[in-house]
Chains A and B, each alone.
Chain A
């Protein structure tokens, strides 16, 4: 236990980076996810196909592959970003596929009549999606979205592979000197569990407030 207390400053630094990755990627993934969902339910065939291709591509590639590919591959074609920025962008792009799938199931859960009613009122596709369909879809998928954010939090540790020094990477560095893997990794594991239960708590509260009884 004392080994963790001895290294609190480093662990804190790592935690800050992990939280940065989590928050920034969650926002990025949410924005992209909504866009992809809109494409998948749009009346334009080409957009629907692109949305489907996006989800299929990113759900079927491991995040680590994408991270290393982006970090070492893109500079070969002249695109070079810092490790932190690369990690945030790649994690956002990857998790957006999952968010889009969750949202689409929410959209499917919205009664067909809702869309027809919106159309009958003279709303455009964008208006009816934004004001009628998505708000209702979101309410039904609060918990699945929470689970995706929790998975995203755990996935941020892969950023260590492209030299981002997050919580896990700090733990490895501390262990390299102290050689006490069990207390160090149990401690760090508990911090991740705390973040995850924080997300779970918030989504749980949100769900109770937003859930619709049908």
Chain B
């Protein structure tokens, strides 16, 4: 019976990455701090009326009274729906709300759960205004969409089961089975640094973790922040070394809308100078990564931005 329960529990876990039904004592979502988020939004700047140019995308959004954001509902620390309050919390989510306040005057957003397969199409056909979804800026993608930012730099790192030997750097993954999230930058990164590695992919982070624990692969390559959060919750895994890539996250915008891109970049600079950016980091990623908020990346510093 116990085993049956385990089987069912495991499968539910795998199926619904986002439904962390949070009944036990310890919070499933590190950094769920609503008051802090409200404080942050109170501090967030609002654009001057003169900046909302007539006929622009900003004016259209302001008239609508709602910013439509392409995002995730199941990315811990970045953009995850709190099953209790229904609020979407995390770094990306807070930044999206802050941008909405900048344009409209109120942090009114509608999140469209955009899968990474459809982000470009959703932007191109105008379903969403912006995409805040760990959207790594690459030259290929920049041909399809415009990127404001980068607003955050992340990096991939490696997690293994405690006690695993022989893996200290990405090149050590050659000839081994490596787990990665489907549709994450980990796939091309592994192919580049360890071309002989066999990559196995799963749809969500909990599934990847389960696969690592069941020896479906010897290592799991994922964003450092996520892996640190995982390792804190689960002592049977450990994170190896420092990030081996630099993934600059950009704010996806419709291709060719230079006016809006300039506007969003201006907003980003303001969030950085007023401390809103740093506060958003502290409320989310800062709850698992030690130390002060890092220096935000230079806007326009990567090819494609």
> In the bound complex, do residue A161 and residue B3 qualify as a contact, i.e. CB atoms below 8 Å apart?
no
Binds B, one of A15-23, A50-58, A179-187: A179-187
Supply 16 A–B pairs (Cβ within 8 Å), ascending by A. Answer: A68-B14, A68-B15, A69-B8, A72-B210, A74-B7, A76-B7, A76-B10, A77-B7, A162-B202, A169-B201, A172-B117, A172-B183, A176-B183, A179-B143, A180-B120, A180-B144
Q: Does A108 belong to the interface (CB within 8 Å)? A: no
Shortest Cβ distance from A119 into chain B, in angstroms? 43
Q: Does A111 belong to the interface (CB within 8 Å)? A: no
Q: Does B32 belong to the interface (CB within 8 Å)? A: no
Against B, the Cβ 8 Å flags (1 = close, 0 = not) of A166-202 are 0001001101111111100100000000000000000
Interface of A (DSSP majority class): helix
Residues of A within 8 A of B3 (CB): 76-77
> In the bound complex, do residue A179 and residue B140 qualify as a contact, i.e. CB atoms below 8 Å apart?
yes
Size bin of chain B's contact surface: 35 or more
> In the bound complex, do residue B187 and residue A176 qualify as a contact, i.e. CB atoms below 8 Å apart?
yes
Which residues 201-228 of B sit at the A interface, judged by CB distance below 8 A? 201-203, 207, 210-211, 214, 216
Q: Does A75 belong to the interface (CB within 8 Å)? A: yes
Given contacts A160-B201, A169-B201, A181-B120, 10 further A-B contacts (CB under 8 A): A65-B15, A69-B11, A73-B10, A76-B3, A172-B182, A172-B183, A176-B116, A176-B185, A179-B141, A180-B120
Once A160-B182, A176-B187 are accepted as A-B contacts, the answer to whether A181 and B121 lie under 8 Å apart by CB is yes
Q: How many A-B residue contacts, CB cutoff 8 Å?
A: 81
Q: Does A126 belong to the interface (CB within 8 Å)? A: no
Size bin of chain A's contact surface: 20 to 34
> In the bound complex, do residue A177 and residue B11 qualify as a contact, i.e. CB atoms below 8 Å apart?
no
Shortest Cβ distance from A15 into chain B, in angstroms? 18
Q: How far is the CA of A64 from the CA of B202 in the complex (A)?
A: 13
Residues of B within 8 A of A72 (CB): 10-11, 13-14, 207, 210-211, 214
Residues of A within 8 A of B116 (CB): 176
Against B, the Cβ 8 Å flags (1 = close, 0 = not) of A14-49 are 000000000000000000000000000000000000
Shortest Cβ distance from A17 into chain B, in angstroms? 13
Residues of A within 8 A of B211 (CB): 72, 163
Shortest Cβ distance from A69 into chain B, in angstroms? 4
Q: Does B67 belong to the interface (CB within 8 Å)? A: no
> Using a CB–CB distance below 8 Å, which chain A residues touch chain B?
64-65, 68-69, 71-77, 80, 83, 160-163, 165, 169, 172-173, 175-182, 185
> Using a CB–CB distance below 8 Å, which chain B residues touch chain A?
3, 6-8, 10-11, 13-15, 116-121, 138, 140-141, 143-145, 182-185, 187-188, 200-203, 207, 210-211, 214, 216
Residues of B within 8 A of A181 (CB): 117-118, 120-121
Residues of B within 8 A of A77 (CB): 3, 7
Shortest Cβ distance from B30 into chain A, in angstroms? 24
Q: How far is the CA of A162 from the CA of B117 in the complex (A)?
A: 18
> In the bound complex, do residue A179 and residue B145 qualify as a contact, i.e. CB atoms below 8 Å apart?
yes
Q: How far is the CA of A77 from the CA of B184 in the complex (A)?
A: 31
Residues of B within 8 A of A182 (CB): 121
Residues of A within 8 A of B214 (CB): 72, 75, 80
Residues of A within 8 A of B15 (CB): 64-65, 68
> In the bound complex, do residue A83 and residue B200 qualify as a contact, i.e. CB atoms below 8 Å apart?
yes
Q: How far is the CA of A169 from the CA of B121 in the complex (A)?
A: 18
Shortest Cβ distance from A32 into chain B, in angstroms? 22
Shortest Cβ distance from B254 into chain A, in angstroms? 14
Shortest Cβ distance from A53 into chain B, in angstroms? 18
Once A77-B3, A83-B200, A173-B187 are accepted as A-B contacts, the answer to whether A178 and B11 lie under 8 Å apart by CB is no
Shortest Cβ distance from B61 into chain A, in angstroms? 24
Q: How far is the CA of A187 from the CA of B85 in the complex (A)?
A: 41
Q: How far is the CA of A125 from the CA of B270 in the complex (A)?
A: 82
Residues of B within 8 A of A172 (CB): 117, 182-183
Once A179-B144, A180-B120 are accepted as A-B contacts, the answer to whether A161 and B203 lie under 8 Å apart by CB is yes
Shortest Cβ distance from B132 into chain A, in angstroms? 17
Q: How far is the CA of A100 from the CA of B296 in the complex (A)?
A: 61
> In the bound complex, do residue B140 and residue A163 qualify as a contact, i.e. CB atoms below 8 Å apart?
no
> In the bound complex, do residue B210 and residue A176 qualify as a contact, i.e. CB atoms below 8 Å apart?
no
> In the bound complex, do residue B201 and residue A163 qualify as a contact, i.e. CB atoms below 8 Å apart?
yes
> In the bound complex, do residue B182 and residue A169 qualify as a contact, i.e. CB atoms below 8 Å apart?
yes
